[in-house]
């Protein structure tokens, strides 16, 4: 097979990789991208997009279920709904397929050549790709590694049969009667909540003292309250030990042994960078623990090799990878670029949703100096009330001296849609007065953002 030479080679067509390739192509850089699976990577195919489709379907099913017998406060009455999960999954797959085609089309439009297969480094400038028709050798002036991450597998709970990862959970053809979720982080609670709404009896087993431990307790309190309302049993301080006879073996917080009956056991204890299988041993990249070490422009320790996305560490978020990919493409094209991760928002699609950007109150205090905190509850927001979404709040953290906003958090129904405003405020270096002085449309939940800033300034209008 004839050797390919190019200016830029991108390994991995996930969010970071395909954005990098598209932007490089737009800038006239001769670009090749290699992908073993379908374009879009984990996020599009077995992660962000399909999980949100399943979560939405579960929300709709639960809404209709509450309308049976005329119990809805909205005055709507229906007969008992039926969920056909196979059809739901087919609908989800249709969305994924459309987006796959969209990414492929965008790459083609940008003039990027796509090679299907598994890439392995031969040296710092050469990669061999195992394709269906043989080995394709590609030489490039610059290489970007964007190989992503994979679910962490526990040695005593290997994937297979009843033990599944999020990938298999998103492809189930029927709702399990009993579902055990090992891990109370955002993936476990997002999917566990969705299956509970679809009728599964869900038990969450978390080794730490509380679920969603990466967020502060005040922010997660409405989520924990909702888990209880959905009938989800949460076992904190508990450790999964293995399986036996259709049950998950658990050591409880008081040191006793327990069995959790389960048709399926969903393991969601984190994700690990995919740093094996593509010839990392053939090149000499410095590591930062299990991740590839990079500088503030995503350069690795080897000249001409960049790394972006989940293989470079936390936060392992698709939009972080996209931002890195765009920046690297512009650097390769000769532009001066840098990036600042402080304003990256993170969203947890639980019920209610969580969104954070910047520093939490505790993190802000740790940086030293006095801070101001303003919090506005959705219970006092007209739009939230009309959506039956009164549980939650918006919180703004700012410096006390000059009112510079350091962090913004929210929990509530539809709170994820506020993430853009939060990120923009931090990116623009907003002060409390900037947010308070911005006219927010009424009635919207976004008014809670303005009111939280007003509260921090000492003159909230609606509370």
Give the span between the Cα atoms of 156 and 247, in whole angstroms. 13
- The 10s digit of each residue's pLDDT in 399-443 is 999 999 999 999 999 999 999 999 999 999 999 999 999 999 999
**What percent of the chain shows pLDDT beyond 70?**
100
Q: Which of these, 327, 306, 298, lies nearest to 11 by C-alpha position?
A: 306
Reduce the DSSP state of residue 32 to 3 states and report it.
strand
- The 10s digit of each residue's pLDDT in 1-34 is 899 999 999 999 999 999 999 999 999 999 999 9
If one counts every other C-beta atom within 10 angstroms of the C-beta of residue 14, the result is: 32
Q: Is the pTM of this model over 0.85?
A: yes
Give the span between the Cα atoms of 341 and 349, in whole angstroms. 21
Give the span between the Cα atoms of 105 and 346, in whole angstroms. 28
Q: Kindly give the pairing relationship between strand 201-206 and strand 233-236.
A: parallel
Give the span between the Cα atoms of 230 and 241, in whole angstroms. 26
Q: Which two three-digit tokens encode residue 124?
A: 């710092």
Q: What's the pLDDT at 382? A: 97
CB 223 within 8 A of CB 212: yes
Any idea which residue has 């269906």 for tokens?
132
Domains of the chain, first to last = 4-150+273-339 (3.50.50.60), 163-269 (3.50.50.60), 343-457 (3.30.390.30)
- Mean pLDDT value of segment 446-455: 98
Catalytic residues: 442
- Burial pattern 122-157, b for ≥16 Cβ within 10 A else e, equals eebbbbbbebeeeebebbbebbbbbbbbebeeeeeb
Q: What's the pLDDT at 77? A: 94
- The 10s digit of each residue's pLDDT in 120-153 is 999 999 999 999 999 999 999 999 999 999 999 9
Give the span between the Cα atoms of 247 and 242, in whole angstroms. 9
Quickly state the pLDDT bin for 393 (edges 50, 70, 90): very high
Q: What is the DSSP string of 300-313?
A: -SSTTEEE-GGGG-
- The 10s digit of each residue's pLDDT in 332-385 is 999 999 888 889 999 999 999 999 999 999 999 999 889 999 999 999 999 999
Q: Kindly give the pairing relationship between strand 393-399 and strand 371-377.
A: antiparallel
Beta-strand runs (E) in 124-210: 126-131, 134-145, 149-151, 163-164, 178-182, 201-206
Give the span between the Cα atoms of 96 and 45, in whole angstroms. 6
Give the span between the Cα atoms of 113 and 144, in whole angstroms. 15
CB 100 within 8 A of CB 38: yes
- The 10s digit of each residue's pLDDT in 255-280 is 999 999 999 999 999 999 999 999 98
């Amino acid at each position: 097979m004839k050797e390919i030479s190019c200016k830029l080679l991108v390994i991995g067509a996930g969010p970071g990789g395909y954005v990098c390739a598209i932007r490089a192509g737009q800038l006239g850089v001769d670009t090749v991208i290699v992908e073993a699976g379908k374009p879009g990577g984990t996020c599009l195919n077995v992660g962000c997009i399909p999980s949100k489709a399943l979560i939405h379907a579960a929300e709709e099913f639960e809404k209709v279920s509450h309308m049976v017998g005329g119990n809805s406060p909205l005055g709507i009455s229906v007969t008992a709904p039926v969920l056909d999960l196979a059809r739901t999954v087919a609908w989800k797959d249709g969305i994924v397929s459309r987006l796959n085609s969209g990414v492929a089309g965008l790459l083609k439009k940008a003039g990027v050549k796509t090679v299907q297969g598994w890439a392995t480094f031969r040296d710092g400038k050469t990669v061999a790709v195992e394709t269906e028709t043989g080995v394709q050798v590609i030489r490039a002036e610059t290489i970007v590694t964007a190989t992503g991450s994979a679910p962490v597998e526990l040695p005593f709970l290997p994937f297979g049969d009843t033990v599944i990862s999020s990938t298999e959970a998103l492809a189930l053809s029927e709702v399990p009667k009993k579902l055990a979720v090992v891990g109370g982080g955002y993936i476990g609670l997002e999917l566990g909540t969705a299956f509970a709404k679809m009728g599964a009896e869900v038990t969450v087993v978390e080794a730490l003292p509380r679920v969603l431990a990466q967020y502060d307790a005040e922010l997660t309190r409405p989520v924990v309250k909702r888990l209880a309302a959905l009938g989800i049993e949460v076992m904190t301080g508990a450790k999964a030990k293995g399986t036996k006879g259709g049950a998950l073996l658990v050591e409880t917080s008081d040191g006793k042994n327990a069995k959790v009956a389960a048709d399926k056991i969903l393991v969601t204890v984190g994700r690990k960078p995919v740093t094996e299988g593509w010839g990392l041993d053939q090149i000499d990249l410095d590591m930062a623990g299990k991740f590839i070490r990079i500088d503030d422009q995503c350069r690795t320790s080897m000249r001409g090799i960049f790394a972006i996305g989940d293989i470079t560490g936390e936060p392992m978020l698709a939009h972080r990878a996209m931002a890195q990919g765009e920046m690297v493409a512009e650097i390769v094209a000769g532009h001066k670029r840098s990036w600042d991760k402080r304003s990256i928002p993170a969203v947890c699609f639980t019920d209610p949703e969580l969104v954070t950007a910047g520093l939490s109150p505790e993190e802000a205090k740790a940086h030293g100096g006095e801070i101001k905190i303003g919090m506005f509850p959705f219970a006092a927001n007209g739009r939230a009330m009309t959506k039956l979404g009164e549980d939650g709040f918006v919180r703004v953290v700012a410096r006390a001296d000059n009112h510079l906003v350091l962090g913004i958090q929210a929990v509530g129904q539809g709170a994820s849609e506020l993430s853009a405003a939060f990120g923009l405020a931090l990116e623009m270096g907003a002060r409390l007065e900037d947010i308070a002085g911005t006219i927010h449309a009424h009635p919207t939940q976004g008014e809670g953002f303005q009111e939280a800033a007003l509260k921090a300034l000492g003159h909230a209008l609606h509370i």
